[in-house]
Structure formats: C-alpha cells, structure tokens
Copies of this chain bind each other. A is one copy, B any other.
Amino acid sequence: MPREVRERQMLDAAVATFARHGYRAASMDGIAELAGVSKPLVYLYLNSKEDLFTACIRREAAALVRAVRHGVDPATPPDRQLWEGLGAFFTHTAEHPDGWAVLHNQARTSGEPFAREVATMRADLVAFVTELIAAAAREAHDDPELGDREVAGLAHALVGAAESLAGWADTDGSVTAKEAASTLMNFAWAGLGNLMEGERWTPR
C-alpha cells in the first residue's frame, strides 16, 4: 500500500477519534486500531500525538478553506458569491462533522499551539470574506460608503454568525446545510445590501 494511502487512513482514524474523545483523552492505540495498523507505524509516519493532532487540524482546515474558495465563482455578482460561499461552508461542515468538531470544538479547546492553527484558518476565512464585501462595496459605489475598518468588522460578524449556525446545525441534526445557508444569507445580505446603498440604521 502506498505511503500516502496509509497516511490518509491514519489521519482519517485520528480525525474520527479526536472528534469523539478530544485531544487529551484520545489514545494512540485506539487510532492505530481504527486505522488497521500497528502503533509503531503511526509514530513512524506521524511522529507524536501532538504532531498527529496538528496534521489533522491542518488537513481539515485546508479542506474547509478550499471548499469555500472553490465554491465561489469570482465572475458572478457579489451576492451570488456570498450565497455560494455560505452554501459551500455549510455543506462542507455538514458532510465532514468530525473535521468540523476537530476544528471548532477540539483544536480551540486543547491549548496552544493547536488554537493558533485554527486562528490562522479563521483569519484566512475572514480575509476572504473581507475581500468579498469590499469588492461588493466597490461595485456599488465608486467612492465607497463603507470604510476598510467597517468592512473588516462586517466580515468578523459574518464569520462568527456562520460558525454559530454550523454549531446549531451540528447540535440540531434536522437543520440542513441549505437551511443554515439560507437563514444566514437572508440575515446578512439584506443588511449588507442596505449598507452598500448607504442605508444605515439610526435610533428613532
């Protein structure tokens, strides 16, 4: 069996195990058994439990960011890009619940350096969304109503809302990816769309 196939099997087993038991409680014996290999082979390939967990986080983070980026066609209008990006995000997290649990629950809650890996992925997503909102604002106005700083704030709000809804969908199994994407799109776009037209909320 080629090395990359065997390594993939080990990472699949590790992601499933870390998702279920967390970093600390997961056992290398259990991971080796689930992968159908010997424990020394896991150490030979992945070096240590810490390196194995880091490899899981990096693989799952890269897969999620790739899914979102590939879901978006930059030639389409900004609202369509956001819709496709949200759809890709919720579909990916629904189809990879173990990967999402590793990123959202386990990696952030097992101390450094794991939390930093997730923070890097999150910063990637915020940067991507920031660029998307900024492009939409430029398209709506030559002299943009929305400053860089507010655009960055909106991107943070949107990513936080998406994470929260993915957690909701994960807890309530009846919430589909489409429903989560649609709820957030309606929440976000009508608001963003108004902002881009210069319509702001003011206290009555």
- A-side residues, CB < 8 A to B, are 22, 24, 77, 79-80, 83, 108-111, 115, 150, 152-154, 156-165, 167-168, 175, 179-180, 183-195, 199-201, 203-204
Q: Which chain B positions have C-beta within 8 A of A187?
A: 154, 157-158, 188, 191-192, 195
Q: Which chain B positions have C-beta within 8 A of A184?
A: 153, 157
Contact A188 B185 (CB under 8 A): no
A183 and B152 CA atoms in complex are apart in Å by: 10
The number of times this chain is found in the oligomer is: 2
Q: Which chain B positions have C-beta within 8 A of A159?
A: 164
Contact A163 B165 (CB under 8 A): no
Q: A153-B179, A161-B164 are in contact. List 15 more A-B contacts (CB 8 A).
A: A77-B204, A79-B201, A150-B183, A153-B184, A154-B183, A156-B164, A157-B184, A157-B188, A160-B161, A160-B163, A185-B201, A187-B191, A190-B194, A191-B191, A191-B192
28 chain-A/chain-B pairs, Cβ below 8 angstroms: A79-B201, A79-B203, A79-B204, A83-B203, A109-B110, A109-B111, A153-B168, A153-B175, A153-B179, A156-B165, A157-B164, A157-B165, A157-B184, A157-B187, A160-B160, A160-B161, A160-B165, A185-B201, A186-B191, A187-B188, A187-B191, A188-B191, A189-B201, A190-B191, A190-B193, A190-B201, A191-B191, A194-B194
